[in-house]
Amino acid sequence: MAYRPAAETLLACVWFPDYPLQVERERHLSLGPQEEAPPLVLLTGGRQPVVHAASREARALGVRRGMPLREVIALAPTAILRTADEAGYRDRFDAILTHLEAITPLVEPAEPGIAFLGLEGLLGPRHRYRSERELAAALTATIPPGWIARFGVARGKFPAWAAARHARNGEVYRIADRERHRFLAPLPVGLLPVSEDLLRRLEGFGIRTLGEVTRLPLADWVAQFGAEGERLWRLAHGEDDEPLRPREPIVAVAESLSLAPPIATVEGLLAAVRQLLERALQRPERRGRTVRQIRLTAHLESGRLWQRTHSLRQPSVHADRLFPLLRYRLSDDRPDEPVEALTLALTAFGGVAGEQSALFVDPPRERLARLEEAVRQLQVRLNRAGVARIVEVEPWSRIPEHRHALLPYDPSTSPAPHE
C-alpha cells in the first residue's frame, strides 16, 4: 500500500545511529553505557569474518566495515568482538516499530534502525501534537531507555532522513519547506540513496556536495545518467517522490518451546519443529485458512537469534505435507550451535481450507479425547506441562542421557491410536 502524495507528505524519520551496536549494548549491560563504552566490533559469521559494524570508539582507532579480523586485532587489541546477529536485530526493530505504531499506523521500516512515519493531520497548532517538542516527547516515550535516537521532520523521505542526521539525541529537527534547498546544499553527495557506481563517478567529476549537484541543469544530468541522474538532481533539490509504504500488519500464529538441555542434533531439532508445527495448525486462529509461509526462530546458547522464513508453493493445512519442506530446508541450513528455545510462526495464509471430519467416531478416538482432556486440565492446574513424552534423538549414543529427550506432551498433537 502506497501513501501519497509523497513529495508533499509530511514525514518523520526515526534514526538510531549504529543500531546493531545499540542492540548489543542493551543485551550485554557489561559493555557499559554508550557515553563511556569500550570499542565494540561486530563481525560477520563464517571462517573468515570481517567487520559488520564498529562503534565510534573502534572507528577512531581505524576499524572500518569489511576489514578482516586480523587487522581489527592489530588496530584495536582491547576491542570487544561479537558475531553480528542480524535476525536478532530485525526482531528487536519489529518490537520498536510496534511501539511507533501507537503514534500513527503509517510506519514504514526502511532498514533496521531507520523508520518513516506519516504525520499528516498529526503535527500543527490544532492537531494532536501542537509542536515539535510534543512530538519528540511522544517519540521518545516509544524508544528503549538509554538508546540514542534522532528525529527529523520534512516533506519527503530523503529530506526527513537528512533532518534526523542533523538532530540531537531525543530531539526533533524540522526542515521548513522554504529551507529545504539551503539545508541540503552543504551536505555530502554520499548521503544520496543512489548506486555506488554513480557516487564514484560523481567523485571523479569533483562533485562533493548536493549544492554542486543543483548548479547543473536537469537536462545535463538526464543526458549523462538517465533516470538515475534525474532522481539524483531532484533529491539534491529536496524533492523525493518515493511513496510511504506502511508495513502490513502480520497476524502470526506462533508456538514456542523451551529446550532443556539445549538441543544440538538435527534429529532433536526436527522433533521439536514437528511438535510446534502440529500445535500451530491446531490453533483456532489458523482454522479455516491454509498456510502459505512459516517462520522458524531459534534462541541459541550464545544468546544470538537464528531465523529463517520459508514460503510454500502449495498452501496446505496438513503437517504431513508441510513438515517435509521444513525437514529438507533444515538439512542444509540449520543453527550452528545448541538451541535453547524454538518458535514456529505461521506468518501468511491462503484461502479457506476444506477440512473433512470423520463420519463415525470410533471408541479408540473417544478414549483418546478423554485422555487429552484430562491432560489439559492437569496443565491448567499446574500452569505448566505436567506430562512429557519420550522422543528418540541419538539412539546410537553410548551415553544413555543422549539417546532420548523429554519434550512437553501436547494433547492436540498426540498421535492417533493404533487399532
Domain edges within the chain:
1-38+79-248, 253-413
> How far is it, in rounded angstroms, from Cα 305 to Cα 378?
32
> How far is it, in rounded angstroms, from Cα 306 to Cα 330?
12
Residue 355: predicted pLDDT:
43
CA dihedral angle for residue 30, residue 136, residue 116, residue 234, rounded to 10 degrees:
-120
Judge whether 55 and 188 are in contact, CB under 8 Å: no
Tell me the pLDDT tens digit for each residue of 44-102: 987 889 999 999 999 999 999 999 999 999 999 999 999 998 888 988 998 899 899 98
Which sign, positive or negative, has the C-alpha torsion 254, 258, 263, 267? negative
Tell me the pLDDT tens digit for each residue of 209-242: 999 999 999 999 999 999 999 999 999 999 998 9
For 361-372, b/e burial (b = at least 16 CB within 10 A) is eeeeeeebeeeb
> How far is it, in rounded angstroms, from Cα 328 to Cα 336?
16
Cell, residue 321: 505435507
Alpha helices in 109-215 (DSSP H): 132-141, 157-166, 180-184, 196-204, 210-214
Let me know if the fold of 1-38+79-248 is the same as that of 253-413: no
Residue 145 DSSP class: T
Domain 253-413 has CATH 3.40.50.2000: no
Q: Across all residues in the chain, what is the average pLDDT?
A: 84
Among 199, 200, 208, 231, smallest CA distance to 218 is for 231
Q: Which residues contact 357 (CB under 8 A, 6 or more apart)?
A: none
Tell me the pLDDT tens digit for each residue of 376-418: 556 555 555 667 777 776 777 777 777 777 777 665 555 544 4
Architecture of domain 1-38+79-248: 2-Layer Sandwich (3.30)
> How far is it, in rounded angstroms, from Cα 230 to Cα 240?
11
- Whether the full predicted model's pTM is greater than 0.85, yes or no, is no
Cell, residue 13: 524519520
Residue 31 DSSP class: G
